[in-house]
Structure 1
Amino acid sequence: MSTDQPPPPEPPEDDPFLKRPQEPSPPGSPPPGGASGGAYPGPPPGGPYPGGPYGGPPPSGGPYGGPPGGSPYGGGPYGPDPLAGMPPLANRFKRLVARIIDGLIVSIPISVIFSLSTRNYDPWNDQARSTSLSIIIAVVYFVYEGLMLTTRGQTVGKMAMKIRVAMLENGAIPEGRPGWTRAAVYSLPEIVPCCGFVFWLVNVLWCTWDQPYHQCVHDKTAKTVVVSTVE
C-alpha cells in the first residue's frame, strides 16, 4: 500500500488572507486612494469657485477705477475708500443754485405764455388754472432735463455751477434710460395731487444726509452721482 499523501488544496483566489505582491505603479501616477490618501479621491484644493484663498469670487474694482473691493454704494468701516478715483463730489449749495437756475429758465417763459393765453380765463377757476400751470411746467422741465442729461450730462444751471451728473459705476454721461429716469423721478411726481410735493421735498433733501455719495432719491434710482467739473 502506498503511503504518499495527497497534496493540500490550493486556497481560493478571493481568500481575504491571501497576500499577493502588488505590482509597482508607473512613474507619475497618483497614489492609491486619491490625493488625500483615503479610500476615495478627495476634492481638489480650494473652493468650488475660482478666486480667493477660500474659493470666493475675485474682488471687483470700485467705481471710477477705484481700489479693488469697492462697493458701488460704499464699503465697510475698515474697507477701501469708496470715493477713491472719483472726481470731487459737487457742493450741495452749488446743486441747489443750479436747480434754481434751471427752474427759472423753464418756469418764467412757460408762465408768461400761459398767462397770455389764459387772460380771459374765468377768475373763479384760479385753482384749476394754477394746477394746469404746474403740470405744464413739470412736464416741460422733465423734457428739458432729460434731453440735457442724456446728451451732455449737464443742464444750463449745472454748467453755470461747473458740476455734472455722471454714472456712479464709471463716470460716464447718463445716456438713455438713466438720464430719463433721473429726470422723471425729480419732476413728474409734482403732478400728483397732495403727495407729490411731499415726495419732491424728501427727494431733494435726501442728499443732505446720504453717505458717502450725497445722492438724492432720483440719483439712487438712476444710479448716478453729481460731481464737480473742476478738479
Structure 2
Amino acid sequence: MSNDQPPSGQPPEDDPFLKRPQPPRQPPPGDSAPPPGEGPYGQPPSGPYGGGEGPYGGGQGGGPYGQGGGPYGGGSFGEPYGGADPLAGMPPLAPFGTRLVARIIDALIIAIPLAVISLAANGFDLSTSNGQSEADRLGDEFNTGTQWLWTLISLVVYIGYDTLMTRSRGQTLGKRWLGLRVGMLADGSVPGTGPSLLRATVLWLPALLCCYCIWWIVIALTIVSSRPYKQGWHDKAAKTVVVTA
C-alpha cells in the first residue's frame, strides 16, 4: 500500500465527500430575510411598480388620479369596469324625463327655423290639383329631388348642431338649460370630435332618413332598460353617459 497523501488544497474528483448533498448555505450573522409580503427593497411585491405607488407617485392602487379615483373622486368615472359599486363617484344620472324634454327643446330649436326656410322656399305645395288629395300631394313631394335635398340639409344641421355643442362643453342648449351634461363613460371628460360625431350620427341619421318615430321609441326603450348607466344606443356607440351637470 502506498503512503502517498493527496495534495493539500482542492480535493480529488473521486473524493466521495463531493458526492454527498451539500447543506443549504446559511446567511452570514446579522443578515435576515425580508419580512413576508415585502420585496428586497422594503416595498410590497405586488404590481408592476413594486408596490402601491404607480408611475404617478401616489395613491393606493395607482392610477393618475390617486386612490384609483377619477375626476369625480371614485374611480375612472365610477369604476365602470370593476369595483363594488359601478356608480360610485359618478354624478347622478340624468332622469329619463329630463333628457326627453331637453331633446324636444333641441329638436324645436332646429326644426322651427328649417320649417320657416322650407316654406319660404316653397319646399312644400299643400294645394290640391287634378283630383289628388292633400295626402297624395304630400307623398309626391316626398319623392321629389327637392324633398331629398331638404332631408340632406336637415341631416347636416341636426348632426352638426349636436356634434359641435357636445364637443365644445358636453351640452346642447336643451341640456344646458335643464342642467344636464354628456361625458365620456371612462373618465367623465367632455367628448371629443369623434365620439360626439358618432353619437349624433347614430341618434339622428335613422330618425331623419327612414325610421322617424320608430327610432325615437327604440332610443327611449334602450335608455329606460339600460343598466346601470341608462345609455341609449347612441351613448353605447360613443361610450358616453348623460349626467346632471
TM-score by length of 2: 0.64
Match of 2:171 in 1: 154
Q: Which residue identity lines up with residue 16 of structure 2 in the other structure?
A: F
Match of 2:84 in 1: 80
Q: Give per-residue Cα distances to partners, 1:126-172, cap 9 Å, x unaligned.
A: 22255544443232111111111111211111122111112222222
Deviates more, 1:59-68 or 1:184-193: 59-68
Given the alignment of the two structures, is residue 99 of structure 1 paired with residue 103 of structure 2, yes or no? yes
Match of 2:244 in 1: 228
Residue from 108, 112, 115 that aligns with 2:116: 112
Match of 2:233 in 1: 217
In 2, the alpha carbon distance for the partners of 1:154 and 1:51 equals 42
Given the alignment of the two structures, is residue 128 of structure 1 paired with residue 143 of structure 2, yes or no? yes
Q: Which has the larger radius of gyration?
A: 1
Alignment of 1:144-223 (within 5 A): 144-193=161-210, 198=214, 201-223=217-239
In 2, the alpha carbon distance for the partners of 1:88 and 1:140 equals 30
Shift of residue 226, structure 1, vs aligned partner: 0.8
- Distance 1:192-1:52 versus aligned 2 partners, 3 A rule: farther
Q: Which residue identity lines up with residue 102 of structure 2 in the other structure?
A: A
Name the Cα RMSD after superposition. Answer: 4.0
* 1:203 alignment partner, SS class: helix
* 1:110 alignment partner, SS class: helix
Q: Which residue identity lines up with residue 17 of structure 1 in the other structure?
A: P
In 2, the alpha carbon distance for the partners of 1:125 and 1:109 equals 23
In 2, the alpha carbon distance for the partners of 1:99 and 1:26 equals 74
- Distance 1:180-1:216 versus aligned 2 partners, 3 A rule: same
Runs of 4+ in 1 over 3 A off after TM superposition: 8-12, 24-28, 45-53, 119-124, 129-135, 190-194, 196-201
- Distance 1:135-1:198 versus aligned 2 partners, 3 A rule: farther
Q: Give per-residue Cα distances to partners, 1:75-115, cap 9 Å, x unaligned.
A: 4xxx4222122211111100001111111111121122112
Shift of residue 176, structure 1, vs aligned partner: 2.3
Shift of residue 7, structure 1, vs aligned partner: 2.7
- Distance 1:18-1:51 versus aligned 2 partners, 3 A rule: closer
Shift of residue 228, structure 1, vs aligned partner: 1.1
Q: Report which structure shows greater RCO (CA 8 Å, sep ≥6).
A: 1
Which runs of 5 or more residues in structure 2 are unaligned?
32-43, 53-60, 127-136
**Preserved contact between residue 151 and residue 208 of structure 2 (Cα < 8 Å):** yes
Match of 1:15 in 2: 14
**Aligned pairs, number:** 201
**Preserved contact between residue 179 and residue 222 of structure 1 (Cα < 8 Å):** yes
In 2, the alpha carbon distance for the partners of 1:48 and 1:98 equals 45
